[in-house]
Each structure stands twice: as C-alpha cells, then as structure tokens.
Amino acid sequence: MYALDDTHDPALESWVESANRPCNDFPIQNLPFAVFRRAGSAEAPRGAVAIGEQMLDLRVVHELRVLRGSAADALEACTGSTLNAFMAMGAGAWSALRKALSACLRRGSPAASALRAALLDQADAEFVLPAYIGDYTDFYTSIHHATAVGRLFRPDNPLLPNYKWVPVAYHGRASSIRVSEHSFARPMGQILPAGGVEPVVGPSARLDYELEVGIFIGAGNALGTRVPIERAEEHVFGLCLLNDWSARDIQAWEYQPLGPFLAKNFATTISPWIVTLEALAPFRVPWSRPAGDPQPLPYLDAPQVRARGGIDVQLEVALQTQAMRARHDPPHTIARSSFRHAYWTVAHMVTHHAMNGCNLEPGDLLGSGTQSGPAPEEAGSLLELTAGGRQPLVLPDGDRRTFLLDGDRVVLRGWCERDGAVRIGFGKAAATVLPAAR
C-alpha cells in the first residue's frame, strides 16, 4: 500500500490556477490518467493527466523531453492510444511518473514555461476508453444492495449463504463498455409479464442504473499463479466510476441458473479519468467484519486489509430528464453513498479472482457491484430506491420515475475528502437512454 509522500502534501499548489480552486476534482494531489483526442478531430488518441480544468497532453510532454530516467520511460508508455503498456509497468513506474509530473506542475517549477505547450482545456477533448479492456468482471460487494435486491427477487431468502464467504461476481461483457458522454438504445429482451407463464419480446420497461466503482488492473498475474492478499493492491492501477446499466425485467426472467446475461451486457459506462491508487492513499479507511459474521478465510485476510483496506470514495447519482434538459435544469441528485461500506475490498476482489489461477491482464476491469449504503436513501439503483417500482421517485418538477424513461440522462460522480487532505474527484460518468432499436 502506498505511503503518503510530498505528492500528497495539502500545501502543494500548481501554476495551473484552476487546479487550486476549492472543490475542483483535479488538484495537483490527484493527477488521474485518461486517453483523448481533440474533440471533432481524427487525431490518434494519446494519454493525458488532468490538472484543474485543463490537462497535459502526454505525447507533447514526451516530445518536450522535460522528464528523465524511469519517469521518461513511463511517460513514453502513455503516448499510444491505450494505457495498457503503462499499466503493465507496475507501481514503480506509476509512482515515478506521478512524482515527476507533480514536480513539473508545482508553482515555481522551471518546467512551467515549456509545459504550457502541452496544456489544453478538458472541454476541448473527446475521451476514449483509457485501456483496451480484454475482460470485465462485475462483483457484488455491497451487502446492503445484495440484501435489498435479494429481498425483491426472493422475499423469503434474501441473502444466499455463500455471500459472506465468497466475493461473488459474474463475467461481464467488455465490448459494450463506453466512456462517459454517450447514449445507448434501450435494450429489447424476453420479459415474463406479471402473472404470465410465457415471455413476450419487447423493450425493457424496467431499465435501471447501478452506481459502481471500476477497478483497473495494472500488472497482471500469469495463468496458473495466485495473488497473495498482501500483494493484491500491487496489481491495481486505479479506480474510476462505473454504471452497470441493468434491465430488471429481462434480468428477472433470465438470471437463473447462470446469472446476468442480456440484462446487463448492452451497455456499461465508465468515467474517462482513472484515479490512481497512490492518489487515493490519504483516503484509506479500516475494513472490518461485523461481529457474528463469518470472518474471511485465511487467503482473504491480512492485517493491512483490516487496517487500511477500505477506500472512502463518496458516490453520487443524479438524474436529468429530457424535460429538465430542455429547461437547462441541472441533473438532480437522487442518492449518495460511499465505497467505504463495501463488504469486500479491492484486495479481496483481486485475490479471490486469481485464487484458481485465473490470469488478470493489464487493462482488465473489475466492477465493485452497486454501492448501496446502510440507509435506504443511500441505495445505488432505482430498483432499491423505488422498492422494485412500487414507490415512485418524485423529482423537483413533480415528474415521477420508477425506472428510466427514454431521454433520461444519469450522471455518476465520486470524490474523496477529509480533514488534513486536499479533496480529489473522479469527474463524472454520464450517459443518456435512447428509444429501443426496432
């Protein structure tokens, strides 16, 4: 796990003035990575690091030859159209580049005048997926979500007995993952009408979002090898926001016995910026098991996980209907939660995923599962917020929602803040629902 160093110093300020404003997502203590091209251009995508409302074009930084040694080697790996090569280099390279960029971006840095040539506004960028995602696995780490959803699907048996022993997951679909600010068609599917015995085919009428954290694997593990829990985080490059769009009516009919399939593989949205695990070091929190629950099996237990395994990423979901957008009303916040409530940590997910020798690859994506907190208003999906569609959500203009309608835009946000540290943010993961394709 990363120690705090001078890159986390709350007193640090940047010569990029927008980075010093309070409540901005990208102060110099953050330095998250993305891949972009100029909006509307046919340029080859390349890596970027966010600073305030602007960003450094890492290909230009490389051409300016302002970095030396291992930081320069790491920088070169960020000049291509994906970050996979950089992710594969491991924590030493990630830290070296973070340290060098932090030094260059500080107020008073002699590199400032040269680096202005590499700076551009985030508003002028079009983001693409930050990595080639070979595989995507979605976990189910919120016991509050698992219990609430289980109650709707199986009222007499909400939480299955394996939940407290196994970090449960399913293998998702990587090809339909998109970066924030896209739109997608409402899925068609087989749906069993209430009280019916035969399914009908039609557009999902119970389309939902899931408020999740995405976890990008950095260095992988070879097929047939395991990842000890003490070393699990060495394999994690960083975190993003993730929306696992879910069609509840398709899901209810298809999910037994093999789990989610077409209810979830039609679209997944991630935020463009990956916040590194190192940037999250000030926001680590203890992780524990409630007394009376089974303690993790030895391969999933380590003192460092109990001491600092959790991450207090505050999460928020907001909804903007088509009518709100027409009036230029901002998205309305409908729920807040935190990743600190997760029943299983990032380290548990990685170690369990590889316990059978399954090889994780650089750029693989893990989803945390819907992050619902203990209180009902902290629910990370409409399924929970509306009690399975029985209690509509009332928006400020009086409009009501049980599930999403065409034209609805869902915006996920995440940030970390605590006394003694500078607030860092994840930006947003937003997408809009279009009518079903016929």
Q: Which residue numbers are catalytic?
A: 145
Cβ–Cβ under 8 Å, residues 425 and 273? no
User: Which residue type is seen at 333?
Assistant: T
Residue 30 vs 269, nearer CB to Ca ion: 269
Cβ-based nearer residue to Ca ion, 244 or 249: 244
User: Which one of 51-59, 131-139, 161-169, 358-366 is the stretch in contact with Ca ion (CB under 5 A)?
Assistant: 131-139
Q: Under rule CB under 5 A, which residues in 9-48 are in contact with Ca ion? A: none
Write down how long the chain is: 438
CB of 212 to Ca ion, least distance (A): 6
**Looking at 138-146, 315-323, 391-399, 414-422, which segment touches Ca ion (CB under 5 A)?**
138-146
Cβ partners under 8 Å of residue 128, min gap 6: 35, 36, 37, 45, 81, 179
Which of 60, 52, 40, 47 has the alpha carbon at shortest distance from 12?
A: 52
Tell me which of 135, 138, 208, 278 binds Ca ion, using CB under 5 A: 138
CA distance 57 to 70: 19
* Candidates 155-163, 206-214, 218-226, 328-336; binding stretch for Ca ion (CB under 5 A): 206-214
**Which amino acid, residue 255?**
Y
For residues 81 and 8, give the distance between their C-alpha atoms in angstroms, rounded to a whole number. Answer: 28
Beta bridge partners of 14: 106
CB 150 within 8 A of CB 157: yes
Q: Would you say 138 or 361 has its CB closer to Ca ion?
A: 138
Residue 378 beta carbon to Ca ion: minimum distance, rounded to whole angstroms: 16
By CB under 5 A, is residue 210 in contact with Ca ion? yes
- Long-range contacts of 67-70, Cβ-Cβ distance < 8 Å, separation of 24 or more: 67/97, 67/100, 67/104, 69/96, 70/96
Q: How many residues bind Ca ion (CB under 5 A)?
A: 3
C-alpha of 309 from chain center: 17
* Closest approach of Ca ion to the CB of residue 1, in Å: 26
At which residue do the structure tokens 């789990």 appear? 259
Least distance between Ca ion and beta carbon 355 (Å): 21
Query: Is residue 342 a contact partner of residue 146, using CB atoms and an 8 Å limit?
Result: no
Count of beta carbons in the 10 Å neighbourhood of residue 354 = 23
Q: How far is the CB of 72 from Ca ion (least distance, A)?
A: 39
Q: Per CB under 5 A, does 384 bind Ca ion?
A: no
Query: What is the nearest approach in angstroms of Ca ion to the Cβ of residue 287?
Result: 21
Task: Give 8 or 145: the residue with its C-beta nearer to Ca ion.
Answer: 145
Confirm or reject binding of residue 244 to Ca ion (CB under 5 A): yes
CA dist list (Å): 260 to 125, 230, 263, 342: 34, 31, 6, 21
Question: Minimum Å distance from CB 269 to Ca ion?
Answer: 12
Residue 45 or 187 having the CB closest to Ca ion: 187
Q: Interface mask (CB under 5 A) for Ca ion, residues 95-114, using x and -?
A: --------------------
Q: Which is nearer to Ca ion, 93 or 143 (CB)?
A: 143
Which token pair is 307? 């001491």
The residue among 78 and 169 lying less far from Ca ion, judged by its C-beta, is 169
The answer to whether 316 contacts Ca ion (rule: CB under 5 A) is no
Residue nearest to Ca ion (CB): 244
> Does 208 contact Ca ion by CB under 5 A?
no
Q: Which stretch binds Ca ion (CB under 5 A): 150-158, 202-210, 221-229, 334-342?
A: 202-210
CB of 174 to Ca ion, least distance (A): 14
Judged by beta carbon, residue 178 or residue 231, the one nearer Ca ion is: 178
Q: Which residues bind Ca ion (CB under 5 A)?
A: 138, 210, 244
